[in-house]
Homo-oligomer: A and B are copies of this chain.
C-alpha cells in the first residue's frame, strides 16, 4: 500500500511536498495508518488529537495513545480536552455536531497559530460509500451522492482512494497498534447498520464494487460540475443583484427549459422546503410572498425578489460587560497600554467613548455606521454589498453597540468615531474569537 499511497500523493497531492502537515489523529486504525504512511514518506507532520470526554477513561486512553505514538515517531503532538456535552447543550446542537464544530475550530486554530499548511484526515473509500448510503437513505440529490471531497480548502483526505480492507492489511503487515473505538460499535445507528449489515451484503454483489463505486462518484462529480457551469450561465441571464436582495427575472427564467429545476438550483440553500409554492410564486400576483426561516421570496411585477428576514436577526440582544461576553459569541475586553494594528478580529477603541454595558445584536436593514477611515455614514447593506459578503453569510454577522451606536461590525470593520486618537487616555482592546 505504501507504493500506491506514494503514487497517489505524487499524482493528486503533489502540492503537499515540503509543507507542514497536521494530521487529525483519533488513535484509531485509519489515522494511525495515515500517520505511518506520511512518516514513511518523510513528510513534516504533527498530530492533533481531540479528547471529547465522551467515553471517560477510554477517551483519556486514546489521548495517551496518540501522545505515545507521536513520541515514538519523534513528531509534535497537540491534544485538547473538550466538554462536548456542555457545548452541545449551550448551543442546542447534537453531541455529534458539537464534536464536529469543536474539532474543526480547534484544528483551524492550530493551523493558524503554529503555521501548519494543511490538515489531513484519514477518511477512506468505505467512509465515502457509507456517506453515499446515509444520504440515499434520507433522500438526497446529485450533490449528496458525489462523495466526500478529496480537497476542501486546507483539509486534505489522501486515503479516499483506499478501502478499509487495504488499510487494515497495511496495519497488520507492519505490526501497527491502534485503539478500537467502542462507540463505533453502537453510537451512530444508521452508519453502523450500513457498515455492518447492508454494505457487506452489497459488496458481495460485485467483486469490483468499490472500484466501480469510485468510477460512479467521479462520473457524478463531473455531472455536478457541468450543472454548476450551466447555472453560472443561467445566473448571469436571469439574476440581478441589488444592495440587499437578489432579483430573478420571471420572464427570462420561464423561457429556459426546466424552469422549476433551475429555480431549485438558484434558491437551494436559503432554507425553502415547499418547492411547489416557490414555483407557483412565478405566476402569483405582485405582493404575494413566501418565507423560509431566514429568507423572504416576494413576487414583485416580473421579478422574484429574495431578501433576508432581518427581523429574525435583530430579535435578540445581549448585554456586554467590561469583561466581555462568552455567549453567544466570544468577546474579550481588556485595557491596553499600547495600540497595535487593528485586525479583522481585533480592535482598539477609546474607552471613554464607550458607555457600558455595551450591547450585542444581529444587524438589521436600517443600520448605518461610519466605516473606520471614512468620513460619511454608510448603510450596512451597502457595506456588505461592497465587501462582497454572500447573502447567506450576512445573517451570521454580529454588531457591538454603545448607546445604540455601532462600535464594531464584528469581524469586519469598526466605526470611525470610536477609534483611538491623540486625546485618548485609556485604550481598550477588544478581541473576537469564534
- A binding-site residues for B, Cβ under 8 Å: 133, 136-142, 144-145, 190, 193-194, 197-198, 201-202, 204-206, 208-209, 211-213, 215-216, 219-220, 222-227, 229-231, 233, 256-258, 260-262, 264-265
Contacts of A224 in B (CB 8 A): 223
A205's closest neighbor in chain B, by CB? Answer: B137
Could you list some 17 contacts between A and B, CB below 8 A?
Answer: A136-B212, A136-B216, A137-B209, A139-B208, A140-B216, A140-B219, A141-B223, A193-B205, A222-B258, A222-B260, A222-B264, A223-B223, A223-B227, A226-B230, A226-B265, A227-B230, A233-B233
Please state the number of chain copies in the assembly.
Answer: 2
Instruction: Tell me the smallest distance from the CB of A278 to a CB of chain B, in Å.
Output: 13
Instruction: Write out the residue numbers on chain B whose beta carbons fall within 8 Å of the beta carbon of A231.
Output: 226
Chain B, residue nearest A208 (CB): B139
Asked if A197 and B193 sit within 8 Å, CB to CB, the answer is no
Docked-complex contact A205 and B194, CB < 8 angstroms: yes
Whether B190 contacts A198 by the Cβ 8 Å rule is no
Contact B137 A223 (CB under 8 A): no
Residue of chain B at shortest CB distance from A140: B216
Contact B225 A261 (CB under 8 A): yes
* Chain B residues, CB < 8 A from A208: 139
Label chain A's interface by main secondary structure: helix
Residues in chain B near residue A233, CB distance under 8 A = 230, 233
Partner of A141, one of B141, B216, B227, B260: B216
Complex Cα–Cα for A348 and B193 (A): 67
Q: Do the beta carbons of B204 and A193 come within 8 Å of each other?
A: yes
Q: Is the CB of B215 within 8 A of A139?
A: yes
Extra inter-chain contacts (7) besides given A139-B212, A142-B223, A190-B205, CB under 8 Å: A136-B213, A139-B208, A141-B219, A141-B223, A198-B198, A198-B205, A222-B258
Q: A198-B201, A230-B227, A264-B222 are in contact. Are A212 and B137 (CB under 8 A)?
A: yes
Chain B residues with CB under 8 A of A201: 193, 197-198, 201
Check if A220 sits within 8 Å of B142, measured CB to CB.
Answer: yes
> Given contacts A230-B226, A258-B222, are A139 and B205 in contact (CB under 8 A)?
no
Q: Is the CB of B136 within 8 A of A226?
A: no
Minimum CB–CB distance from A313 to chain B (whole Å) comes to 30
Chain B residues with CB under 8 Å of A213's CB are 136, 139
Given A145-B145, A226-B227, also A202-B258 (CB < 8 A) = no
Which residue of B142, B193, B258 contacts A229 across the interface (Cβ within 8 Å)?
B258
Query: Given A223-B223, A229-B230, A261-B225, do A139 and B198 touch, yes or no (CB 8 Å)?
Result: no
Chain B residues within an 8 Å CB radius of A216: 136, 139-141, 144
A138→B219 CA distance, assembly (Å): 13
Instruction: List, in ascending order, chain B residues with CB within 8 A of A264's CB.
Output: 222
Alpha-carbon distance A258/B141, docked complex (angstroms): 21
